[in-house]
Structure 1
């Protein structure tokens, strides 16, 4: 039975960074990823651009060369997948980790394809796999999309976009420019202040001129086959014709997986318990890295500010092994 020094759950940018640190320190490791390399980035909208500049997305001091000030999805895929290729990262793809169980100081990791054993486990699973549901009638209809990739399917269709975040704004603008009739339904009183600074004036101007309709302080309450029903800021109920709903309501980490792994979750936001200096959870030798550390506060961590997690974790593992 081979016992790895480290098993890493998740092959995103931070999981790759952890692997690079392990490799530099001659630790045996394996990444297990349920999809392709940087699977979440692969599922981003096709024309998405990062808020961060290229150098802030770099891992292990490997230069990220971008032709634009803000790299796009394809450039990021080329960069991270290129690192995995060139550095010969040990990674199993299209294999899902189902259970992490610790017995006698060794972790038994059960996946969709077998079992593995490791002295340490790093969970770096991000948050993009589970949509934050609205829990309203009709949300399970085929016309409702919680993931948006490109605008072309929505040409000449009546679209309702839920939310006012970057993903909502991008979807609204792109579909509008391909000929969709776009209505935004926003819980808050204005477009989010976190929207990319070069995009925010565009959406506000389109709303101001009436090209994109927007209802603020409003709430979608039901989705039907050919319409939606929402409540406006005065509490009045409206029904409008509709072909598709783009529910850009955010995403959540797999809290069930974290809990079954033994990690304690605290507060309304289900923040996982971990040591901020080592990233070690309440389960000894079980670590968190990246966005998953934030619980429901998925805006707290991103590539730029969680790259440091890899060094913190590997240094602590080395101290334990010594």
Structure 2
């Protein structure tokens, strides 16, 4: 019986593990993919908007070559943290269910490994730090599930010489448009807003604006995709409907946490905000012994919590679990 089981080995889940280990609290971290899998799935050339010290956990310095860390540097850093602190992470093991066991006075966590082996882990508390990157915001239009449509962008090379429609107007859309143009793709941006987001990274904004000003890429603002077909995208523009020929569609419209998993645990979800019911000081939900950490706390507003502030929840969660343990033992 562990004192805690953390579901998710992203930076915030790892930060909770660090704090539990500091307090000598037996725990385990279960991750369905690799550690910090969201960062792994970021574009290969991505540069963070944060400075390295704001991504640090466990008081282990994060050294970078430049002022802003790259995706590769972040992957190296978090591997170093897990290795150096010997955090108890079990990778490639997906949690399938969590249930309360009256006989043992704790939770029974059911999981399955890549090879199909089923496991059960007992823990007195469960910390849900599952992030959001597995659940893209769907467009809800016909053709969205066609094979040439994706909600993720990794690298520009596969799109050389291709006609690509990018849907979105935030950092991910801007960076993808710049990369694809540089490798020789024909790019069209479609965004429902009047312009690109004002939150685009400072070093990205001049490049994307230059491409727009020079008409080096096509773009349609105040527009929305109404249908995706095999060889074109149907768009409703201010001037009327338009069919845009394309070979690939990158629907970079953001992501959201999996609230359905929390609901199965009995956690109350605000229908309007998607925010799980929780104590702001301990991050314990309305279900005693179930905690939330990281971006899952923010509900539908996934931009409210990042690594920078999500990692700061960890000491409070660890203190709350330590108090529960002390009260039981005492």
TM-score by length of 1: 0.97
Q: 1:308 Cα shift?
A: 1.3
Deviates more, 1:249-258 or 1:163-172: 249-258
Q: Does 1:304 align with 2:302?
A: no
The answer as to 2:158 corresponding to 1:160 is no
- In structure 1, the partner of 2:115 is none
Q: Which deviations, in whole Å up to 9, do the C-alpha atoms of 1:246-273 show, x marking residues without a partner?
A: 0001112112111101111003231111
Q: Secondary structure of the equivalent of 1:4?
A: coil
Q: In the TM superposition, what are the counterparts of 1:122-161 in structure 2 within 5 Å? A: 122-161=127-166
SS at match of 1:142: coil
Query: Residue 182 of structure 1 aligns to a residue in which SS?
Result: strand
C-alpha displacement of 1:78: 0.2
Which of 267, 273, 288 aligns to 1:269? It is: 273
**Equivalent position of 2:89 in the other structure:** 91
CA distance in 2, matches of 1:70, 1:214: 29
Q: Per-residue displacement from partner, 1:162-209 (whole Å, max 9, x unpaired)?
A: 001111111111001110111000010011011101111211121011
Unaligned runs of 5+ in 1: none
How many Å separate the matches in 1 of 2:46 and 2:40?
A: 11
SS of corresponding position for 1:271: coil
Matched residue of 1:40: which SS?
A: helix
Q: CA deviation at 1:27?
A: 0.6
Query: SS state of the match for residue 229, structure 1?
Result: strand
Is the CA contact (8 Å cut-off) linking 2:58 and 2:81 kept in structure 1?
A: no
- Distance in 2 of aligned mates of 1:307 and 1:252: 18
Equivalent in the alignment of 2:180: 175
State the partner residue of 1:107. 107
Q: Measure the CA separation in 2 of the matches of 1:83 and 1:117.
A: 25
Q: Counterpart in 2 of 1:220?
A: 225
Equivalent-residue separation in structure 1 for 2:321 and 2:148 (angstroms)? 47
Gaps of 5+ in 2: 113-117
Question: Which residue does 2:325 correspond to in 1?
Answer: 321
CA distance in 2, matches of 1:179, 1:138: 26
Q: Give the secondary-structure state (helix, strand or coil) at the position aligned to 1:281.
A: coil
Q: How does 1:11-90 map to 2 (within 5 A)?
A: 11-90=9-88
Aligned length: 319
**TM alignment of 1:175-194, pairs within 5 A:** 175-194=180-199
Correspondence 1:203 to 2:213: no
2:6 aligned residue? 8
User: 2:162, 2:185 within 8 Å by CA — same for their partners in 1?
Assistant: yes
User: TM-score, normalised to structure 2's length?
Assistant: 0.95
Q: CA deviation at 1:38?
A: 0.9
CA distance in 2, matches of 1:279, 1:243: 45
Distance in 1 between residues matched to 2:313 and 2:100, nearest whole Å: 22
- 248-257 or 62-71, which moves further after superposition? 248-257
Q: CA deviation at 1:214?
A: 1.1
